[in-house]
Amino acid sequence: MSETLVRLQKYIADCGVTSRRKAEEMIVCGQVTINNQVVTELGTKVNPQEDVVHVDGKLIDLGAVEKVYIVLNKPRAYVTTLNDPEGRPTVMDLCKEVPERVYPVGRLDYLSEGLLVLTNDGELANKIMHPSNNIIKVYEVKVFGIVGMQLLNKLKNGVQTDEGFLRPHSVRVVEQLPNKTWLEFRLGEGRNREIRRLCEACGITVEKLRRVAIGGLTINNLAPGRFMYYSKKQISDLIGVGKRPTTPTYVSSKKSISVPGSVPKNSPKADDRKFVRYRKENYYQTMNSYKVLNEKKESERQSALQRIKPVDTKE
């Protein structure tokens, strides 16, 4: 009998209702019943062949679930949740044509972009997210200013923060713009907002962040806001949770750019404090101040034009 029992949160996730972590929250909140009895204990197990499970009053059935696997290129300004209490657009708005109920595997910040897997396969979702599988996730990050060798080494070596020690698997410069720098980060565990917190701890301000790969799965040739269907085998093998002798790794076509030992005097350093005003917590205030300044300049220009007397062209 014990071999047929599974944890309730796993069963809910396997039925495609939501992720295992969210299922735990639903159990604790009393949203789940087994054989018409409310269950709030996380250690509870069920027999899928005998027990009747309802979530929010709806019967869930493992045998009735068709597994779906989607890769989405998440645009900026979308929330990686099923719904948002603030009314912001969510990634689910981009998948309305998908008839099955899917949910995001992991997350990307509201302002972040790039590769996001959505599925109703709880077992596969858990494999992708579990730190023990050490799946490498690759991000391209544009930061303000020029990154010199000293600052690059600081990023590589990692920093101690209030949330613990943060250190990427690797980091390199892939493009140098006049006043900004594109970096490529590779993360193993990939904790919440790890890159943004790591950069901020080094005095660096992120302008754009996009995830380009998970294992060997990429979003090459997939436009922002678009998604593609995959089979379980395809996505498992590409990410590296399938039965493969080696874990696939994404290799970028972008070459590493040599980093200056010291940033030229007339060039802004990436850790310059003036860029802090562009961080998320200061961004809207900064943009509003620019708007007020531009409106003031325009008002002064209009006033100056009105003071100029028209030239009399009559002889």
User: How confident is the model at residue 257, as a pLDDT?
Assistant: 93
Structure confidence at residue 248 (pLDDT): 80
Find out whether 102 and 16 touch, Cβ atoms under 8 Å.
yes
Q: Where are the chain's structural domains?
A: 2-64, 69-239
Residue 15: pLDDT band with limits 50, 70, 90: confident
pLDDT for res 1: 44
Determine the pLDDT at residue 89: 94
Non-local (6+) Cβ contacts of 89 within 8 A are 77, 78, 79
Element containing residue 286 per DSSP (H, E): helix 280-307
56 is a catalytic site residue: no
Topology at the third CATH level for domain 2-64: 3.10.290
pLDDT of residue 284: 58
Q: Which of 50-59, 122-131, 140-149, 249-258 has the lowest mean pLDDT?
A: 122-131
| Residue 49, helix vs strand vs coil | coil
* CB-CB neighbours of 206 under 10 Å: 22
Report the pLDDT value the prediction gives residue 68, as an integer from 0 to 100: 93
**What confidence tier does 53 reach under pLDDT thresholds 50, 70, 90?**
very high
Give the per-residue pLDDT at 232.
92
Q: What is the pLDDT of residues 145-184, one digit of tens each?
A: 999 999 999 999 999 988 789 999 999 999 999 999 999 9
Q: Strand locations in the chain, DSSP E?
A: 6-7, 32-34, 37-38, 45-46, 53-55, 58-60, 69-74, 103-105, 113-119, 137-144, 159-161, 164-166, 170-176, 180-187, 206-214, 217-218, 227-230
Active-site entry in 93, 109, 271, 312? 109
pLDDT at 292 over 70: no
What pLDDT sits at residue 21?
81
Q: Is the pLDDT of residue 311 over 60?
A: no
Class of domain 69-239: alpha beta
User: Buried (b) or exposed (e) across 19-35, using 16+ Cβ within 10 A?
Assistant: bbebbbebbeeebbbbe
Across all residues in the chain, what is the average pLDDT? 87
Rounded-to-integer distance, Cα 81 and Cα 110, Å = 10
Q: What is the pLDDT of residues 189-229, one digit of tens each?
A: 767 789 999 999 999 999 999 999 999 999 988 999 999 99
Q: What tens digit of pLDDT does each residue of 84-111 get?
A: 889 999 999 999 999 888 889 988 999 9
Q: What is the pTM of this model?
A: 0.76
The string of pLDDT tens digits covering residues 67-79 is 899 999 999 999 9
